[in-house]
Structure 1
Amino acid sequence: MDVVVRSVRVESDGVRSLELAPAAAGDRLPPWTPGAHIDVLLGSGADALVRQYSLCGDAGEAEDRGSWRIAVLRTEDSRGGSRYVHDTLREGDIVTVRGPRNHFALAGSPRYLFIAGGIGITPILPMLAQAEAAGADWRLVYGGRSRAAMAFTDRLAAYGGKVALVPQDEQGPLDLDGLLGTPEPDTLVYCCGPAGLLDAVEAKCASWPSGVLHMERFTPIAADDAQNLEFTVVLQRSGLTLTVPADKSVYSVCRENDVSVLASCLEGICGTCETEVLDGEVEHRDAILDEHERAANNTMMICVSRCRGGKLTLDL
C-alpha cells in the first residue's frame, strides 16, 4: 500500500523518525503489535531498494491505525537505504510499504529484562508500553555510543528508574555479566541491537532456561556456502518436483519455474518468504526463528535455508 510521509523528526545524532499515514483519504493502516516491522520500498522501478524497519510508535498509534512511526539510523556503510531516508525522503513524499509482520512478538510474562543497543531501541519501545499496561515487572538497559546518539530518550524518561541509559563514552560497554550472570526466575529477556551485542547476550544466556531469550537481528547470519549440496524440493500444491543446485536457493528455483513466491530481504532477516514445511528436515540459516521454532521444523525461509537431507516437501 502507499503511504505519505506526514512528518520527519530528528530523534538523536544520526537518527530520524518518519511518521507514515495512509496516502488515500479515509484509509486505515493495518493493525500491528509491538515487535512488528514493515517493508519500505525506497525509490521506484528496478532500482528500488527494499528495507525493513521496526514500528516504534506508541500504543495510541497502534489502536487508531491512522499512522505508523519508524526510525532510521544513518550509517557510514549504508547500502543505500539509510542514505535515501536521510537525504531524499521529505514530508509529503509517497512511499510503498508492505506488512506489517511480527517475528519478535512480546510473549506474556510476569517479568522482563529488555536490552537494547543503538537503533535496536526501536522494536523495544512499544514493548515497554505493552509490559507497563499489563502490569508486568520490567526494566530496560539501553546502551549507545554517546548520550547524544541515543534516540527516544525523551519518551523513555517517563518510565523513571525502570530505564538505565548507558552511554559508552561515559560508562563503558554494557555490563552483561552483571545483567545476565545469574538467571532470574520467571523472566524473559528481549534484546535488539548490533550483531556483537546479540552474540554476547546469546552467550551469556546459555545458562538461562531454554526459550527465555528473544532477539531480533538486523544482519544475516553468516553461512558457509561452500558446503551447500544439491537437493530436491517437492512443491505440493503446484505439483512440481524441482532440483535446487548448490549455488541457488529454493526461492530462486521457484521463481525460475514461475511459482508465485514472495521475498524481500533475500537474507533471512525479514520473514517475507516464510513457507510451511510438509516433509523433510530443514537446515535453517535465517536470523528469525528461535531454537524451538527451528526444532519444530514447521516452516523455513526459502531465501536462505536449505535441506539437511535429499528432499523437502513444501506447501507451495
Structure 2
Amino acid sequence: MRGLQDARRDPRAPDGGLSPLPGCAAPAVAIPCGRFAPSPTGPLHFGSLVAALASFLDARARGGHWRGRIEDLDRPRVIPGMASDHLRTLERFGLHWDDDVLYQSHGAERYAAALRQLERAGWLYPCICSRSDIAQAGLAGAEGYRYPGTCRTRSGSATDSAAWRVRVEAAPIEWPDLVQGPQRHALDALCGDFVLRRADGIITYQLAVVIDDAIQGVDRVVRGADLITSTPRQIHLQRLLGLPTPAYVHVPLALDRQGDKLAKRLGAAAVAAAEPVPLLCRALAFLGQSLPPEAPRLGRDTLLGWAIQHWDVGRIPRGQGWPAPPLPNVADSPEM
C-alpha cells in the first residue's frame, strides 16, 4: 500500500465511501487466500491450533494460498521471541505459509494513510473520554457499555494525542457466516463509534486487520467465534475505504473444563508440537471433520493431505464453543 494518494469521494465505492486504497484492490483473477494472524502475547494453545488448522485446510482445499501475519501492534503486551515461537510451532504441525510473513508493527505508514483518508472524508473525530466516562453514561451494548457519542462534535487533527473514533450508522450490517449462519448487527447498538487509534498512538485491531486482509489478498477469513462481533466493524471500514469484503467463517472456540475460552492471557497451556499427529487429530475432530480409522498412525503430512482432500466447512458444528475432545490413542510414533 505504498504511495497512498489523497482521499476523495468516489461514487463507485460502496455506500459512498472512499475510493479504494492503492495496493488493496481485488485482483483481476482472484486466487483463493486464507490467513492465520496470531498475537505474540503468549504461546499458541489448542484453540489457536484449531483456528490455524481450519484456515489452512480451507485455503488449501480451495487450491489457494495461506498467508501468515503477526499482529504485534500492542507493543506493551508483546513477549520478545514469541512471534518466532509461533512460526516454529506452525511449521512443526506442517502448516507452511506462502510468501513472507506480514508484521503489523512494520505497517505504521499504511495505517496512517488510511486514517488520513477517513479523516479527510469526515469519518473520524478525536475523543478524550475515559472508560470510566463511558461507563458512567450507562448505555448498554452487546459487549458491555457502548460509546455514547460524547465527543462526536469535537474537531482536531489526527496528529492530536486523543484517541480517534470512526463514526458508525444506525443501519444494520448483514452478512452470511459460512458456519454460524446469517448475521445482522447494528453498530450503534453493538458498540457505538469505535476507536481506530488509541490515545497512546497504537492502531487498533479493527483498522489494521482490514488493511492487511486487503493487502494480503484474503478472500475468506477463518477465525474463532469470539471475533464474530468484530466482523460488522470491519465490514463498515471496508465499505468506507472501498476495500473488498471477504467471506467469513467463525469456528467454535475450544473451552476449558470450567467453560472458559482457552486464552493466552489466562495462561492456556502451549500445544505440544513435539508430537503433532495426536493434536491434529484432536483438532480435526473438534472441527467436525471425518477421520480415517488409521489417522493416529499416519504421518503428519499424510494426515494433512487427507484432511485437505476431505475438508468440508459444512461439517463444522455451529455454536460459540465447547470443551475440546480427548486425545486419540496413538499406537505408534508416526513418521513426519
Fold-level match, TM-score > 0.5?
Answer: no
State TM-score, norm by structure 2: 0.25
User: TM-score, normalization: structure 1?
Assistant: 0.26
| Structure with the largest fraction of strand | 1
Task: Tell which has more relative contact order, 1 or 2 (C-alpha 8 A, sep 6+).
Answer: 2
